[in-house]
């Protein structure tokens, strides 16, 4: 297991450097193309309840996706972290999004003391859009190392009768031939890039 963790750590470092080399214009260009490809997917169009991460500077910009999902009357759930736990809670509007406070990771997230609908308690998610550091063409995902998404996805797969479609959105540079993985890692159904 230590070998896998060491390999994951090295790849995270490498990817951090690769993404830092991308200009903000290039990140925006790729984000726009990924957004257009996502909107064209039947799976996305037909999804009523989706989960979406709120992006940081070193990730595909998910705000246009959020805006589009709200405009097309989808129910949108975003991550809320506390300790080792992550849950997906409902976001009501763009105004709601704008009022969210920033976490220490510089990500907007709903306050824990605020009552919000929890996706897994009120129905099923049809689609989950996940972040990551690197991805392989066969659906392996390297996260940031905290295991939040793997734990959430595992819980989601246990609780839901229907498996949600799991899509990763990424920069072209984040796709690798292969990435180190362990039995706890959950694969994605599709890695969407500008390419």
- 47 by DSSP, 3-state: which? coil
Structure tokens at 30: 């790729």
How far is residue 175's CA from residue 195's CA, in Å, rounded to a whole number?
A: 10
Average pLDDT over residues 67-78: 96
> pLDDT value at position 96?
93
How far is residue 157's CA from residue 153's CA, in Å, rounded to a whole number?
A: 6
- Highest-confidence range of 30-39, 95-104, 143-152, 181-190, by mean pLDDT? 30-39
Convert the pLDDT of each residue in 25-53 to its tens digit.
Answer: 999 999 999 999 999 999 999 999 999 99
Residue 184, C-beta contacts closer than 8 angstroms, at least 6 positions apart: 147, 150, 154
Q: What is the pLDDT confidence band of residue 81, given thresholds at 50, 70 and 90? A: confident
Average pLDDT, the chain: 90
> pLDDT value at position 183?
76
Structure tokens at 104: 């220490």
Residue 1 pLDDT more than 70? no
Tokens 């009501």 sit at which residue? 92
The torsion angles phi and psi of 166, rounded to 5 degrees, stand at: -110, 120
> pLDDT value at position 7?
85
The sheet with strand 165-169 has its strands ordered as 85-91, 75-82, 49-52, 127-130, 165-169, 190-192
């Amino acid at each position: 297991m230590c070998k896998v963790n060491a390999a994951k750590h090295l790849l995270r470092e490498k990817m951090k450097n690769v993404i830092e080399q991308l200009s903000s214009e290039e990140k925006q260009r790729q984000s726009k193309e990924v957004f257009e490809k996502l909107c064209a997917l039947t799976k996305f169009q037909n999804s009523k309840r989706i989960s979406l991460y709120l992006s940081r500077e070193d990730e595909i910009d998910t705000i246009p996706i959020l805006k589009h999902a709200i405009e097309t009357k989808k129910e949108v759930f975003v991550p809320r972290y506390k300790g080792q736990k992550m849950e997906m809670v409902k976001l009501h509007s763009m105004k709601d999004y704008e009022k969210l406070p920033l976490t220490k990771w510089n990500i907007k997230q709903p306050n824990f003391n605020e009552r919000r609908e929890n996706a897994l308690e009120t129905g099923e998610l049809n689609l989950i859009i996940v972040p990551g550091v690197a991805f392989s063409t066969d659906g392996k995902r390297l996260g940031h190392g905290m295991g939040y998404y793997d734990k959430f996805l595992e819980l989601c797969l246990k609780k839901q009768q229907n498996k949600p479609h799991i899509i990763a959105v990424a920069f072209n540079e984040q796709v690798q031939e292969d990435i180190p993985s362990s039995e706890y890692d959950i694969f994605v159904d599709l890695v969407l890039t500008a390419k």
